Chain A
Amino acid sequence: MHKVLLLIVIPLLSYGFWLSDAFKGIAAGVSIFLFGMLSLEQGFKAFTGGVLERILQKTTDTAWKSFGFGFVSAALMQSSGLVSVITISFLSAGLLDLVAGIGIIFGSNLGTTTGAWLIAGLGLKVNIATYAMPLLVFGVLCVFQSGKQLKGIGYILTGLGFLLLGIHYMKESFEAFENTINLAEYAMPGIKGLLVYTAVGIIATIIMQSSHATMLLTITAVSVHQITYDNALALVIGANIGTTVTAIIASFGANIQGKRLAGSHLFINLFTGIFVLLFIKQFGIAVDVISANLGIAVSDNAMKLATFHSLFNLAGIILFFPFINRQVMLLERIFIEKRPAIFKPKYLDSSAMDFPETVVESVRLESIHLYENAIHIILRTFGLRKPDLQKNDLLKQLIEQHNHPIEYDIDAGYEKRIKGIYSAIIAFISQANFTWEMTQSSKLSWLREANKHTVEAIKDTKHLQKNWTRFRTSNNQATINEYNKIAYQIVLHIKQIENFRREIESNELPLLSLDALKATIRNDDMQMNRAIETLIREQKITPETGSSLINDSSYMRSIKKNLLKAAETLFLHGDTGTPGAEQQLTLNDTEINDVVQTVDTQ
């Protein structure tokens, strides 16, 4: 869809450029202005990840404080869209609640009107290009520095410079445009004009993704009498409605809170727009009165438009700000959170609390349930499912051929399959732990540890997933091979633990099989590290990739060890027939190391 639109817009613009130099100047002005906004956004991003969050927490604990924060940040960043996008991201991250989020939106709506004042009051009267030049020079100087914050300041200065330069270009081009075409000929009086120009304002803002750009065009055009004042008012209303699209687009990637906030932004601006359209005459009078009091000339439509812009957003605040809590309730009704089917505990029953052995067995079974879910998550990360473990010869091939473009969402998997059960187990154990004698208490303590190992294995898998996803599409075959090997060895280990479970059931010396699993973990780790060193030495992979591989092979080792420790407690719970004699033959650490050395020399 976007590509089709681009294919239409490019020839149209090209035709426009061929027709008119002034049009070319206006378009270039808008582009420079938008580029300035991008640069500004980039600059502010440099300050997220610490400073911004701290400020946010301190300044958004009441609705009024949130309002103030929104006002100041939008006035500084000159983009309500950017503020709402940042707010959505903070809301999604749980740093803000919806009330604070809506407060920020109100504040940013008003804060962004300072831009209109700047354009109308300064941009059109002073040669602002002279201010743009030093900003650009200092900005670019800072951008080339290595420090992150200095770079951020550089982008902010450059952004401001481009904003001013864009305004300058548009102003110049509109003045030239005035002599060739008179847009005022397309003026529409009455309600029809209001509705059509509101729609134009919405569309222009959606296309340019900036109400500022629309405001700039409108104010500049009205200052040179290219459009009528009444139509310009409608364009401002349209720009205010259209600006909510930025937040709506941002909310697609956000959670339900983000969607609610975007909904709120649309709700506030749309209904304020409708309200202002209904009472446009009264608003016109109010603008005249305020302008007269502020000493704005009757003929200075640009400044009057800036006044109208502020009045519009003030009206929105007066109308809806007192009802923030009701809005939240309404939004929660409209945007209902679809909770994923969360796995619930199967075996934990509080009525068993009086029977210590039953409680221990319930917790063990539930922990096995948790372990099974963890295995599901780990296998899915590598594109497999549990039945695939039976496909002995194809296992390696299945991992190598796994080329699904979207990686498995481990966080969602954790929320769905682990968190509920894990919390229930912890709660159950803590309820039971205090009342009983040592035997059961220590068994429960072991089971708690086993669950911790299971969860650790998932966390390690998440760390590993980052590079596994990144490098399996690498151009370097050696890197791909090593990452596939890491995945294969983890899967193989899971398979071996499954065999170990079967050995317990058939009493086929499970305790002794554990030694082989422990030795295999050490052996795999040693082989992997050696292979990586060789690849770096032979320059088949870069040292950077090598260091990633070394880190990830540590994750592999940790996943295996955690799974084995969990399995040992969960499955080997004293059911074996001859543990005494079997125990005598188990290997100690030194013996396991000897095994690894012997196998290595074979």
Chain B
Amino acid sequence: MKIEKLLHKLQAFFNTDRHKKRQHIEELRKILLKLKKKERKITLALHQIDDDDLSKHYQTELEVIRIQRKKGIEVLQQLKERKKT
């Protein structure tokens, strides 16, 4: 019984890094999903407004989100590749 418990603990210890990687990937996925939702929301708002200043702000926000998502996808791919290896 004691040996079984010890083995479990050892397994958990060796899996920590993998677990962390998985958690990180999950977090990134959630963020990317939130960014996508935000992007849709802003695109919708952009079509409804008639204010040049506000429209420029929305465009800037959309461009920022686009680059952030691009960065996110790249990081995600790198993590997945590292996970495979």
Give bound CA distance, A574 to B28, whole Å. Answer: 18
CB <8 Å contact, B75 and A595: no
Docked complex Cα distance between A524 and B61 (Å): 13
Chain B residues contacting A602 (CB-CB under 8 Å) are: 59
- Is the CB of A529 closer than 8 A to any CB of chain B? no
The reply to whether A587 and B68 form a contact with Cβ atoms under 8 Å apart is yes
Contacts of B57 in A (CB 8 A): 492, 496, 520
Q: A488-B53, A492-B54, A594-B67 are in contact. Are A585 and B38 (CB under 8 A)?
A: no
Residue contact A516 to B59, C-beta cutoff 8 Å: no
CA distance A596 to B71 in the complex (A): 17
Least Cβ distance of B84 to chain A in Å?
20
Q: Are B71 and A595 in contact (CB under 8 A)?
A: no
User: CA A595 – CA B68 in complex, angstroms?
Assistant: 11
Once bound together, how far apart are the Cα atoms of A563 and B13, in whole Å? 46
- Closest chain A residue to B34, Cβ basis: A509
CA distance A594 to B65 in the complex (A): 13
CB-defined contacts of A585 to chain B, threshold 8 Å: 31, 68-69, 71-72, 75
B contact residues around A21 at 8 Å (CB):
none
Tell me if A516 and B65 are in contact (CB < 8 A).
yes
In this complex, how many residues of chain A approach chain B with their Cβ under 8 Å: the count is 32
Counting chain B CB atoms within 10 Å of each CB, the highest count among A485, A520, A523 belongs to A520
Residue of B nearest to A508 (CB): B34
The answer to whether B54 touches A595 (Cβ under 8 A) is: no
A396: chain B residues at CB < 8 Å are 51, 53
Answer yes or no: A581 CB below 8 A from chain B CBs.
yes
Find chain B residues with CB under 8 A from A584 CB: 28, 71-72, 75
- Residue of A516, A578, A596 near B61 (CB, 8 A) is A516
User: Which of chain B's residues have a CB closer than 8 A to the CB of A172?
Assistant: none
- The reply on A251 being an interface residue by CB < 8 A is no
Taking CB atoms, residues of chain A closer than 8 Å to B53 are 396, 485, 488-489, 492, 524
| Contact B59 A599, beta carbon cutoff 8 Å | yes
Flag if B60 contacts A578 (CB, 8 Å). Answer: no
List the B side residues contacting A578 at CB < 8 Å.
27, 30-31
B80 CB-CB contact with A under 8 Å:
no
With both chains docked as a complex, state the minimum distance between the C-beta of A591 and any C-beta of chain B, in angstroms: 6
Give the chain A neighbours of B38 by CB distance below 8 A: 508-509
Give Cα A527 to B38, complex, Å.
25
Select from chain A the residue with minimum beta-carbon distance to B50: A393
Which residues 545-588 of A have a CB within 8 angstroms of B? 578, 580-582, 584-587
> Nearest B residue to A527 by beta-carbon distance?
B56
Complex alpha-carbon distance, A323 and B65, angstroms: 75
Q: How far, in angstroms, from A489 to B60 measured CA to CA in the complex? A: 14
**Measured CA separation A421–B35 after assembly (Å):** 38
- A595 and B56 in contact, given A578-B31, A584-B75, A585-B71 (Cβ under 8 angstroms): no
**Contact assessment for B67 and A580 in the assembled complex, using a CB-CB cutoff below 8 Å:** no
Query: What chain B residues lie within 8 Å of A599 (beta carbons)?
Result: 56, 59-60, 63
**A512 B60 Cβ-Cβ under 8 A:** no
Alpha-carbon gap, A492 to B58, bound state (A): 12
What 1/0 mask marks residues of chain A from 473 to 490 whose CB sits below 8 Å from any chain B CB?
Answer: 000000000000100110
CB-CB under 8 A from A496, the residues of chain B are 57
| B60 and A596 contact, CB distance less than 8 A | yes
A587 engages B31 (CB within 8 Å): no
Asked if B12 is an interface residue, CB under 8 A from chain A, the answer is: no
| Assembly CA distance A509 to B27 (angstroms) | 12
Identify which of B24, B53, B63 gathers the most chain A CB atoms within 10 Å of its CB: B63
What mask results when residues 7 to 51 of chain B are scored 1 for a CB within 8 Å of chain A, else 0?
000000000000000001001101100110010000000000001
Min CB distance B52 to A, Å, is 9
Q: Does A598 contact B (CB under 8 A)?
A: yes
- Nearest residue in A to B51 (C-beta to C-beta)? A396
Q: With A492-B54, A523-B56 in contact, do A515 and B64 touch (Cβ < 8 Å)?
A: yes
CB distance from A370 to the nearest CB of B (A): 27
Cross-chain contact A516 with B35 (CB below 8 angstroms): no
User: How many Å lie between the Cα of A586 and that of B75 in the bound state?
Assistant: 12
A523-B64 Cα distance, complex, nearest whole Å: 12
Query: Bound complex: CA of A376 vs CA of B72, how far in Å?
Result: 38
**Which residue of B31, B61, B71 contacts A520 across the interface (Cβ within 8 Å)?**
B61
The CA-CA distance from A596 to B63 in the complex, in Å, is: 9
- Please indicate which of the listed interface residues B27, B28, B35, B68 has the most CB atoms of chain A within 10 Å of its own CB: B68
Q: Is A519 an interface residue (CB 8 A)?
A: yes
**Which of A520, A578, A581, A584 counts the most B-chain CB atoms under 10 A from its CB?**
A581
Q: Given A396-B51, A581-B31, A584-B75, A516 and B67 touching (CB < 8 A)?
A: no
In the complex, residue of chain B having the shortest beta-carbon distance to the beta carbon of A581: B27
The 5 closest A-B pairs by CB, nearest first: A581-B27, A516-B61, A516-B64, A585-B68, A595-B63
Which B residues are closer than 8 A to A by beta carbons?
A: 24, 27-28, 30-31, 34-35, 38, 51, 53-54, 56-57, 59-61, 63-65, 67-69, 71-72, 75
Selected A-B contacts with CB under 8 Å, 20 pairs: A396-B51, A485-B53, A492-B57, A496-B57, A508-B34, A509-B31, A509-B35, A512-B65, A512-B68, A520-B61, A523-B60, A524-B53, A527-B56, A581-B24, A581-B28, A582-B31, A584-B72, A584-B75, A586-B68, A599-B56
For the complex with contacts A527-B56, A595-B60, 20 further pairs of A-B residues with Cβ separation under 8 Å are A396-B53, A488-B53, A512-B35, A512-B65, A519-B60, A520-B61, A523-B56, A523-B60, A524-B53, A524-B56, A578-B27, A581-B27, A584-B71, A584-B75, A585-B31, A585-B68, A587-B67, A587-B71, A599-B56, A599-B59
